[in-house]
Amino acid sequence: MGIHIGTSGWSYDHWQGVLYPPETPVHRRLAYYIQRFQTVELNSSFYRWPKPSTFAGWRQRLPHNFLLTVKAPRGLTHAKRLYAPEVWLDRIKACWHELGEKRAVLLVQLPPNQACDYDRLAYFLDQIPHWLRVAVEFRHPSWQQESIFQLLEQHQTAYCIMSGAHLPCILRATAPFVYVRMHGPDKQHLYGGAYSDNDLHWWADRLHEWASMGKEVFVYFNNDGAGNAVRNAEMLKRFVI
């Protein structure tokens, strides 16, 4: 249990001199990341799902008590749109086993043009084993309804709380854990800007409230430009302690 704060991804060229020293080789970036954070949200898996051996390698490389969240592949979420998910879920479960005690949450991000489909979501959630924690990020506004929140609660699946331009920030906890994605404070552009200290103090209060309810909390900053995610994540950690 606890509050886990990190960033969405760990390898960005523009984080040179922010998270890692200038000219750091790509294969050394994770080593610097784990010195400062104990969780990360892997986003590259959305574009190309890693092999089981890659997950086994992360289990060996990541330190004790480090938790890896993984974004579900776009083949499942954007190509299939959760339709007939069994093949993809079999691949995901095999890799999740390899990750062992380092696994955190599987993030399922639905496309912004996918409108609410209760039956399809219900079928998908029925296929997920109880030991696989899942958070769902809904980008189309039609999903924001009580029946969907109740469905998530029935399956102990987290509604992904979002902070970002043109996204509704609904503070709804539907699982034993809370999942938050910080897409940046810019009102017009996703992933833009740096959160102010006042913003982060406000979020720290929310995290403490959820933790006091016995919820485990995961927060990932996705405003990676200029290293804002790194600075904001570290500042929020200070405010939470």
pLDDT tens across 126-136, in order?
999 999 999 99
Residue 137, beta-bridge partner list:
109
Residues contacting residue 77 through CB under 8 Å, at least 6 positions apart: 46, 108, 109, 110, 111
Whether 152 shows a pLDDT value over 70: the answer reads yes
The string of pLDDT tens digits covering residues 30-82 is: 999 999 999 999 999 999 999 999 999 999 999 999 999 999 999 999 999 99
Mean residue pLDDT of the chain comes to 97
User: What integer pLDDT is reported at residue 46 of this predicted model?
Assistant: 97
Whether 231 shows a pLDDT value over 80: the answer reads yes
Reduced 3-state DSSP string for the chain: CCEEEEEECCCCHHHECCCECCCCCHHHHHHHHCCCCCEEEECHHHCCCCCHHHHHHHHHHCCCCCEEEEECCHHHHHHCCCCCCHHHHHHHHHHHHHHHHHEEEEEEECCCCCCCCHHHHHHHHHCCCCCCCEEEECCCHHHCCHHHHHHHHHCCCEEEEEECCCCCCCCCCCCCEEEEEECCCCCCCCCCCCCCHHHHHHHHHHHHHHHHCCCEEEEEECCCHHHHHHHHHHHHHHHHC
User: What integer pLDDT is reported at residue 241 of this predicted model?
Assistant: 85
Whether 204 shows a pLDDT value over 80: the answer reads yes
The residue-averaged pLDDT of 200-216 equals 98
Q: How many residues are present in the chain? A: 241
Q: Which two tokens stand for residue 151?
A: 């469905």
Integer CA distances (angstroms), 48 to 126, 170, 239, in order: 25, 30, 35
CA 58/CA 53 separation, integer angstroms = 9
- Specify the pTM: 0.97
Local confidence band at 24 (pLDDT 50, 70, 90 cut-offs): very high
Q: Which two tokens stand for residue 79?
A: 């190509």
Whether 105 shows a pLDDT value over 90: the answer reads yes
CA dihedral 209, 210, 213, 218 (to 10 degrees): -150
User: What integer pLDDT is reported at residue 1 of this predicted model?
Assistant: 66
The residue-averaged pLDDT of 89-114 equals 97
